[in-house]
Amino acid sequence: MFKDMKDSLYAWRHVLGYMAVVFTLALFSAGILTCRKILIEKRVGVIPYIPFLAASLNCFFWATYSVLNEFWDNSILFINTFGLILQVMYIVLYYYFTEDKTSLIRDIFITCSIIGAVLFYVMVVVSELNRLIHLGIIANFFSICFFGSPLSTMAVVVRTKSTESMSLPFSVLSSLVTSLWTLYGVAISDVYVQFPNFIGFILSLIQLSLFCVYPPKKKVFTIQSPA
């Protein structure tokens, strides 16, 4: 039964791949809605910046992986370069409106340090023969971090009983993207594609369940009568 399903997915692998690419671009663009909210309110409120940093690491390492892997399609490089540029723009906007600039600068420094350490490790310490394997494992780890990053505010969600600090479009698109990439990974028999996206899909479902249990609080506007 599984073999029949796998054969069917293999026949549709190109369609799955194209759909995954389109929805991944939409996922990276979901931050535009968050930034729009920040611009309107002129403050970041309870919106976390961790998802932007996690997405930056995810995009950077997959872009680097695609550059080093001569067998990979250039579309992977395009998607992640596009995503990285968007994340940098989101972070700049967040920095402008946040009151806690010190924490953001500290975590940006940590993010850059992680990038530097990983590049040193894969380019200097690891042999050229094993370079892609090590970088692929690291990229998978940060993919899981990226898909699970909205859960960094779970404590806030439970305390306030509201998912205002989370992005519903991101969680919905995340579930679609990870499901598509998981199916694509099954179709091409690539465990490196299957594993992180399946974990990401589970994390996305957890996020969506939070929206069901703790829906965002609706703002109530009152009109004061003239004195």
Chain length of the chain = 227
227 has a pLDDT exceeding 50: no
72 has a pLDDT exceeding 80: no
**Cα 127 from Cα 146, distance rounded (Å):** 28
Which residue in this structure is represented by tokens 């989370």?
Answer: 166
Q: What distance lies between CA 165 and its chain's CA centroid?
A: 16
**Cα 224 from Cα 140, distance rounded (Å):** 54
Alpha-carbon torsion, ordered 141, 100, 206, 61, to 10 deg: -20
Q: Which residue has the higher pLDDT, 12 or 189?
A: 189
Judge contact between 172 and 30, C-beta under 8 A: no
Its pTM surpasses 0.75: yes
Judge contact between 20 and 188, C-beta under 8 A: no
Give alpha helix (H) positions in the chain: 2-11, 13-29, 31-41, 50-68, 74-97, 101-120, 131-148, 154-160, 168-187, 191-213
Q: Can you tell me whether residue 190 is helix, strand or coil?
A: coil
For the ranges 39-43, 56-60, 144-148, 159-163, the lowest mean pLDDT is seen at 159-163
Nearest to 152 by CA among 61, 53, 62: 53
**Cα 138 from Cα 143, distance rounded (Å):** 9
The Cα-based distances of 52 to 31, 122, 132, 188 in angstroms read: 8, 24, 25, 30
The model's pLDDT over 77-136, given as tens digits with 9 standing for 90+, comes to 888 899 999 999 999 999 999 999 999 999 999 999 999 999 999 999 998 888 888 998
- Tell me, what's the pLDDT at 82? 93
